[in-house]
């Protein structure tokens, strides 16, 4: 392992646990302006003094402004470090950091405040190598967990030399892995419009929106084919209909989560839904579609060189979940994701980071940066 990697990985790991504790202490569900502002204040205290910070409009209206931290240099390469400060956890369910054996348990620990901590650590390490790059920027957004608007930052960083995203890390075959391939993600919204009537005395006069949506959910689920050519997963996730126990529901909505290698597969699911079921009209549309990412070929030489500098293999892996890295991959071919710490339980009460893996994941990130420079 190159001495620069070992030295700075140790420094990052020495600070990571208490920095993660400070970020996880802040409850920051997506869309909560106060929580996002507090997280960004914490980040401001951790980034290198040489860096300049700026706030830019978030992609989603009503959210706190996103944060860009810029570290200028005198070299030629430009590298983007990418993360988000929002979580899916509501205030009433928030858990501050708890230490339990080898686990650091808390809301947003692995998705992705642990990754933010490593990205900030990499930025501090690069503050000593400013002759090796033209600029390194850290972009932290406030709406990654629930964004239906177009992503606002692609044009700002298009053409940069590399994008490194710090979503949670993983092992593959016992080796440190990074993510270079992700599925596309789609959120399908189906609304039903029927007619209400008394469910006891005149149910035949109604047009039941709940039954129509339940049938639509089954039709979507029938498209589920994770081993098929598009590796499509089609999962109904939310169904809302009805206001009273004795009234035929006249309206409602169904959400379905779709993931596939091609966004075209989502439109095939949409086309399979009828316009009417049992007299109730169906109106289906996509609330959001995020692109797929496949940087396997472009990143293979980079991972080979980074492995040499690290002294152990870094392997390429795939993941089904969506990420903002997917938005940048078409305009920054060297896009690598999954550089955050290893852990588990994302979006669940037991979400955690593995304490013993903080140093090894910092080594991986630094080896990739070293190879880039």
Predicted pLDDT of residue 66: 98
Same domain (yes/no): 225, 302: no
Same domain (yes/no): 223, 177: no
pLDDT at 320 over 90: no
Same domain (yes/no): 275, 311: no
Same domain (yes/no): 207, 345: no
Same domain (yes/no): 277, 308: no
Six token digits for residue 298 = 């472009």
Is the CB of residue 317 less than 8 Å from the CB of residue 170? Answer: yes
Same domain (yes/no): 223, 298: no
| Mean pLDDT over each residue of the chain, to the nearest integer | 97
Residue range 7-53, pLDDT digits in tens: 999 999 999 999 999 999 999 999 999 999 999 999 999 999 999 99
What is the distance between the alpha carbons of residues 304 and 249, in angstroms, rounded to a whole number? 59
**Edge to edge, what strands does the sheet with 251-260 contain?**
233-241, 251-260, 184-193, 280-290, 276-277
DSSP type of residue 248: -
73-84: average pLDDT: 98
Predicted pLDDT of residue 278: 96
Same domain (yes/no): 146, 8: yes
Which residue segment(s) compose the domain that 102 sits in? 3-183+292-372
Predicted pLDDT of residue 96: 97
What is the distance between the alpha carbons of residues 263 and 333, in angstroms, rounded to a whole number? 19
Residue range 166-214, pLDDT digits in tens: 999 999 999 999 999 999 999 999 999 999 999 999 999 999 999 999 9
Q: pTM for the full model?
A: 0.92
* Of the residues 264, 290, 316, the one at which a domain ends: 290
* Of the residues 272, 290, 308, the one at which a domain ends: 290
Same domain (yes/no): 336, 195: no
325-351: average pLDDT: 96
pLDDT at 144 over 90: yes
Same domain (yes/no): 44, 147: yes
Predicted pLDDT of residue 191: 98
Asked if omega into 112 is within 30° of 0 (cis), the reply is yes
Predicted pLDDT of residue 339: 98
Residue range 265-308, pLDDT digits in tens: 999 999 999 999 999 999 999 999 999 999 999 999 999 999 99
Estimate the share of the chain in helix, then strand, then coil, as percent rounded to the nearest 5: 35, 30, 35
What CATH code is carried by the domain that includes residue 193? Answer: 3.30.70.360
* Of the residues 240, 256, 290, the one at which a domain ends: 290
Predicted pLDDT of residue 287: 93
Six token digits for residue 293 = 């990412």
pLDDT at 371 over 90: yes
Is the CB of residue 86 less than 8 Å from the CB of residue 28? Answer: yes
pLDDT at 321 over 90: no
Q: With 0-12 CB in 10 A as exposed, 13-18 as middle and 19+ as buried, what is 216?
A: buried
What CATH code is carried by the domain that includes residue 60? Answer: 3.40.630.10
Provide the number of structural domains found in the chain: 2
**Edge to edge, what strands does the sheet with 162-165 contain?**
52-56, 66-72, 135-141, 78-84, 162-165, 335-336
Same domain (yes/no): 139, 213: no
Residue range 251-260, pLDDT digits in tens: 999 999 999 9
Go through the chain and tell me how many residues it has. 373
What is the distance between the alpha carbons of residues 307 and 323, in angstroms, rounded to a whole number? 24
Same domain (yes/no): 75, 153: yes
Same domain (yes/no): 362, 339: yes
Predicted pLDDT of residue 322: 85
301-306 long-range Cβ contacts below 8 angstroms, 24+ apart: 302/162, 302/334, 302/336, 302/368, 302/371, 302/372, 303/178, 303/180, 303/336, 303/368, 305/371, 306/364, 306/367, 306/368, 306/370, 306/371
What are the start-end ranges of the E strands in 46-125? 52-56, 66-72, 78-84, 98-100, 103-105
């Amino acid at each position: 392992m190159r001495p620069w990697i070992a030295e700075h990985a140790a420094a990052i790991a020495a600070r990571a646990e208490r920095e993660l504790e400070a970020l996880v202490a802040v409850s920051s569900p997506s869309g909560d302006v106060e929580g996002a502002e507090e997280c960004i204040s914490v980040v401001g205290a951790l980034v290198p003094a040489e860096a300049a910070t700026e706030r830019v409009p978030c992609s989603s209206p009503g959210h706190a402004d996103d944060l860009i931290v810029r570290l200028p240099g005198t070299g030629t390469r430009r590298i983007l470090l990418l993360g988000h400060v929002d979580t899916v956890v509501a205030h009433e369910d928030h858990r501050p950091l708890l230490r339990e054996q080898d686990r650091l348990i808390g809301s947003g620990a692995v998705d992705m405040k642990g990754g933010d901590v490593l990205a900030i650590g990499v930025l501090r390490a690069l503050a000593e190598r400013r002759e090796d790059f033209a600029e390194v920027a850290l972009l932290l957004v406030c709406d990654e967990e629930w964004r239906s608007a177009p992503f606002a930052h692609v044009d700002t960083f298009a053409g940069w030399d590399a994008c490194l995203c710090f979503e949670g890390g993983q092992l593959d075959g016992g080796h440190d892995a990074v993510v270079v391939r992700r599925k596309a993600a789609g959120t399908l919204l189906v609304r039903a419009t029927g007619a209400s009537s008394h469910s006891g005395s005149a149910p035949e006069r109604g047009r039941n929106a709940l039954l129509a949506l339940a049938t639509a959910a089954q039709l979507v689920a029938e498209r589920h084919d994770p081993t098929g050519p598009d590796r499509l997963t089609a999962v109904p996730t939310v169904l809302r209909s009805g206001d009273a126990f004795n009234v035929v529901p006249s309206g409602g909505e169904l959400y379905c989560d779709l993931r596939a290698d091609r966004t075209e597969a989502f439109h095939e699911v949409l086309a399979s839904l009828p316009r009417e079921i049992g007299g109730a009209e169906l109106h289906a549309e996509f609330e959001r579609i995020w692109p797929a990412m496949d940087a396997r070929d472009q990143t293979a030489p980079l991972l080979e060189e980074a492995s040499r500098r690290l002294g152990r293999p870094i392997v390429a892996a795939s993941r089904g979940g969506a990420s903002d890295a997917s938005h940048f991959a078409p305009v920054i071919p060297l896009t690598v994701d999954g550089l955050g710490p290893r852990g588990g339980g994302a979006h669940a009460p037991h979400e955690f980071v593995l304490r013993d893996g903080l140093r090894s994941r910092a080594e991986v990130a630094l080896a990739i940066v070293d190879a880039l420079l």
